[in-house]
Structure 1
Amino acid sequence: MSKELMWWVIAVVAVAALGVALWGPILSNVEQPEYNVVESSGSIEIRDYKPMIVAEVQVSGDRGEAIGKGFRIIADYIFGNNTAAQKVPMTAPATQQGREKIAMTAPVTQHGGGNGWTVRFVMPASYTIKTLPKPNNPAVSLKEIGAKRFAVIRFSGMGKKDSLIRHTKKLNDFINAEHLTPLSAPTYAFYNPPWTLPFLRRNEVMMEVYGDPPE
């Protein structure tokens, strides 16, 4: 192989690799839920989210298996499997929450419901519950969610079980230190397509909370 051809091949491979690296973040540059940051501390924020509409599905199985299953069902709805055969713009993140109960007087969760999960996509803000096309699949539900306050920790990587557990503990420690009351089980939020490089990924653990951070 000549030097010129070798350098041409290297250049093509480099450009292709860069394209793969950037493709995930580019595709993730979509509409996201609106919120105001009340307080920040490193990778943790307290956010006030505005009301939103979500499409959700109940799935069971291992956490990784469940998010994939739920994603496919809701993606089928927004890609046109609805009464209007209409595409709904993709948003980020996709969220996943275990069916858990939580003690309202202390930051301790009581796990229940086995391996059941709720997977959600937030619908674009331009829609109302009346203007969104209705799902053909009865497993998909459209719900209006009121304004809520969340404590959120952000991190990169693959969002595997150990990482989720570790960051959930950090978030719980922060909630304790801020004297906030948790109102929900942890919600896992994933912002990127599966082919996004780990260090470019945006993942979050979110917990609805009540109370104001200390001055």
Structure 2
Amino acid sequence: MKISLLLSVFAVSILGIYSEVNIPPTCKRIECPIYDVIEAGKDYQIRRYNSSVWISNSPIEDISLVEATRTGFRRLFDYIQGNNNYKQKIEMTGPVLSEVLPSDGPFCKSSFVVSFYVPKLNQANPPPAKGLQVQRWKNVYAAVRQFDGFVSDTDVGKEAAALKDSIAATKWSSFIDQSRKAGGHASVYSVAQYNSPFEFDNRVNEIWFLFDLENGLQAM
């Protein structure tokens, strides 16, 4: 199983299977985390992200992903503008990532962790700041679905359900379930937003199901 996966990754790197359509236009002008496309399925991609560093809010309790992301974004934007212990300005990156831990009921608050990707220049020593945490990710996999327009609370649930349906009959669904049981990423899904609120064209958003493939392989 592991050998087969490695061969697939090797084939991707040799053949250059990167679709320009699937790279958010924003990432051509600002820094974004690097990934390999492991599989391009119908309405989804499986990506392997290299180890990376993120700066994150403490969990925000809210019934709205849109409002929680707005709250988290303001805190993080102040951080990169120099409101940190080093008074250091940091370049804006993409995406703004909101990890979602849904509540048990329709009218209960969910938890949202909003994060900025830390540029490579700052990853070795990201400035600390009160109320923010540094997340250091090892290599991680993601099942990804893209959608356009402005993110709304209603659309996010629909897009996450569509991604779940797209991978339901694949091995990736099992890997994700097993990874979660083995203590992988706790979020049910994450929402990646690549555009500023003032950009109206070529908007790209993504739903991510993050998972640890090694945990999934070991549990299969």
Query: Which TM-score bucket, shorter chain as reference?
Result: 0.7 to 0.9
Paired residue for 1:206? Answer: 208
Partner-residue secondary structure (3-state), 1:177: coil
The CA distance in 2 between the partners of 1:56 and 1:65, in whole Å, is 16
Instruction: Report the Cα offset of residue 96 of structure 1.
Output: 0.5
Paired residue for 2:60? Answer: 59
Give the number of equivalent residue pairs: 176
Instruction: Report the Cα offset of residue 114 of structure 1.
Output: 3.1
The CA distance in 1 between the partners of 2:80 and 2:150, in whole Å, is 25
Q: Is the 8 A contact 1:28 1:193 kept in 2?
A: no
Paired residue for 2:115? Answer: 120
Superimposed CA distance per residue, residues 70-128 of structure 1 (whole angstroms, 9 cap, x where no aligned partner): 00001111110112211011100001112259xxxxxxxx7898322100111012223
Paired residue for 1:194? Answer: 197
The CA distance in 2 between the partners of 1:171 and 1:70, in whole Å, is 25
Are 1:93 and 2:87 an aligned pair? no
Instruction: Report the Cα offset of residue 28 of structure 1.
Output: 7.5
Q: Is the 8 A contact 2:194 2:205 kept in 1?
A: yes
How does 1:1-215 map onto structure 2 within 5 Å?
29-57=29-57, 58-61=59-62, 62-100=64-102, 114-129=109-124, 131-135=125-129, 138-180=130-172, 181-182=175-176, 183=180, 184-197=187-200, 199-209=201-211, 210=213
The CA distance in 1 between the partners of 2:49 and 2:68, in whole Å, is 25
Superimposed CA distance per residue, residues 128-171 of structure 1 (whole angstroms, 9 cap, x where no aligned partner): 34x22222xx2111121111110000111112123212211121
Superimposed CA distance per residue, residues 37-59 of structure 1 (whole angstroms, 9 cap, x where no aligned partner): 00112441100001111100022
TM-score by length of 1: 0.74
Identity over the aligned pairs, expressed in percent?
26
The CA distance in 1 between the partners of 2:51 and 2:160, in whole Å, is 24
Partner-residue secondary structure (3-state), 1:200: coil
The CA distance in 1 between the partners of 2:147 and 2:160, in whole Å, is 11
What are structure 1's unaligned runs of at least 5 residues? 1-24, 102-109
Q: Is the 8 A contact 2:26 2:195 kept in 1?
A: no
Instruction: Report the Cα offset of residue 27 of structure 1.
Output: 9.1
- The structure whose Rg is larger is 1
The CA distance in 2 between the partners of 1:26 and 1:98, in whole Å, is 23
Partner-residue secondary structure (3-state), 1:71: helix
The CA distance in 1 between the partners of 2:151 and 2:53, in whole Å, is 25
Q: Is the 8 A contact 2:73 2:114 kept in 1?
A: yes
CA, structure 1 residues 128+200, in 2 after alignment: closer, same or farther (shift >3 Å)?
A: closer
Partner-residue secondary structure (3-state), 2:199: coil
Give RMSD over aligned pairs.
Answer: 2.4
What are structure 2's unaligned runs of at least 5 residues? 1-24, 181-186
Q: Which has the higher helix share?
A: 2
